[in-house]
Structure 1
């Protein structure tokens, strides 16, 4: 495994981040344990979850991770743990504060719930799952500062923020003498390159590490996208594949010429971006995890990167140069 700094912090994290959204849904606890053990064995120390994961039972994913930590063997000590807050936890005690959003009240309550489910006293990275424009940064940074001072979290991150959200958050943190955001978790892949316009440049300028979610575009950039799957795909999934078939076939051909799998080339492309901290891999099985480890060893040549740009055109430049020069 290879490692990098999380944003401008001194914290070293693996260049692949283990995503746990499948735990408790398509992946049962036994297999989730296998995946997390295999991840540690492979040197992956960066685990990402959210309090809302778990399907119909919100928080179930965090519970599974907590049960895994409880087995001992220095599991907790070896993991850089990240979770998120924003969604409705379907807790009657939240009353009118259960709806999606952020507030000092909700953040404190939901952090306490996460720590209990995760069976830990602190987390390394606490992330806002979405931006909440109805809440002031005075309120947010005050509660996050108290959380850090208490030792309940080391760092604060964001997810699904626009470039200007990142800029405002950092300016407000600086007023208070705080480090501010250290990471932004964002949807980014060969099939979703809009973040190159403003989010990635803003994150790079402010020293915020980018963690990519859906790096395989919901499986479209994986090995099985073009294989017949009778009866197992929704009409929406089939339609998405047909809409991108030309690109996906060209991509599969390029990967075949390289002797690498589509998923690993897609991950390697992300890792070649200097703004990237780590893509999130969300394996449903330990075997899928093992297959993803090859990505950090792949170095894509310049002509390959140019061909990927041809197949999956991006904006070409950041905003506004991409459209106004």
Structure 2
């Protein structure tokens, strides 16, 4: 496994991030434990979760599954860089209560303690703001985070789904307070969806944040869906099926798969490997439902993409180009 440094921290993390959002909703506890065992055996040491994963009445279930895995061996926790998130409403008794979501100091304090209990650990390595909270000033957020760092409950703070100007606002406020600020940004970024290159990735680079792309296969669209339809009669479903109804989208995806067929490469593996070539990217999040899916993701880390192939990918998915030129009419 290849490793890199997480932003401007001393943490060394694997270039693949194990996403756990399927643990509970789609993968039972035993299989989730097996996937985490296999990930650790393969050298993946960066695990990402969120307090709301499990969803609906089972919010928090994913963190609990990770906690039961940690309970099996203290070495598991010692080897893992653990990231979770705060923002979503965790109220379970009917109508959500106010102050049980977003980024008020009260909710941050409440949410950290609840996550620590579910995860069965005394600290979280990377505590991420799942979304921006327009109602809570960053002065209050950093006051709460600084207290948690001083208490040893968290080490670093990161953001998720932040626009570039919010990354700047958060870190400028932190600098005025003498706080450490954000060290990472988790954003939607893949070959098909490259708008993060306009402002989010440059802002992250300027402020020393590691970029952690989520949905690297764009909901499965970059995972060989057209080939699967042709070869196995397997119909796409959900958002992927809806997207493929658009003739222009289908044509792009088909061109992508045909290009990779010429090179004898798997679409999903190339989509991950491409992200690993992008400036500022720490590592993409993979969310395997099975051990087989994890093995496919692992192959991407060793995949070298030729300049010819990279140029071909840019022709199909050109991206927005640099700012401010990308904003030109």
TM-score scaled by length of structure 2: 0.94
Query: Is this contact kept in 1: 2:219–2:239, CA < 8 A?
Result: no
Indicate yes or no: 2:327 matched with 1:301: no
Match of 2:90 in 1: 89
Match of 2:53 in 1: 53
Indicate yes or no: 2:24 matched with 1:24: yes
Query: Is this contact kept in 1: 2:217–2:271, CA < 8 A?
Result: yes
CA distance in 1, matches of 2:245, 2:274: 23
Query: Is this contact kept in 2: 1:125–1:154, CA < 8 A?
Result: yes
- Trace 1:97-176 onto structure 2 (pairs within 5 A): 97-98=99-100, 100-176=101-177
CA distance in 2, matches of 1:254, 1:233: 21
Q: Secondary structure at the match of 2:98?
A: helix
**In structure 2, which of residues 281, 288, 298 is the aligned counterpart of residue 276 of structure 1?**
281
Indicate yes or no: 2:216 matched with 1:198: no
Match of 2:187 in 1: 186
User: How much does 1:242 deviate?
Assistant: 3.3
Q: Deviations over 1:194-248 (max 9, x none)?
A: 1111001110111011000001000000134542377864464322123221111
Q: 1:172 to 1:315 in 2, by over 3 A?
A: same
Query: Is this contact kept in 2: 1:255–1:262, CA < 8 A?
Result: yes
Aligned residues between the structures: 323
CA distance in 2, matches of 1:299, 1:231: 29
Query: Is this contact kept in 2: 1:226–1:241, CA < 8 A?
Result: no
Match of 2:78 in 1: 77
CA distance in 1, matches of 2:158, 2:201: 15
Q: Deviations over 1:123-148 (max 9, x none)?
A: 10000000001101110000000001
User: How much does 1:96 deviate?
Assistant: 2.1
Which shifted more, 225-234 or 117-126? 225-234
Which shifted more, 297-306 or 122-131? 297-306
Q: 1:58 to 1:174 in 2, by over 3 A?
A: same
Which shifted more, 117-126 or 298-307? 298-307
- Trace 1:3-22 onto structure 2 (pairs within 5 A): 3-22=3-22
**In structure 2, which of residues 233, 236, 241 is the aligned counterpart of residue 238 of structure 1?**
241
CA distance in 1, matches of 2:115, 2:74: 21
Q: 1:172 to 1:286 in 2, by over 3 A?
A: same
CA distance in 1, matches of 2:234, 2:117: 40
**In structure 2, which of residues 255, 258, 263 is the aligned counterpart of residue 253 of structure 1?**
258
User: How much does 1:15 deviate?
Assistant: 0.3
Q: Deviations over 1:172-214 (max 9, x none)?
A: 1111212210000000111111111100111011101100000
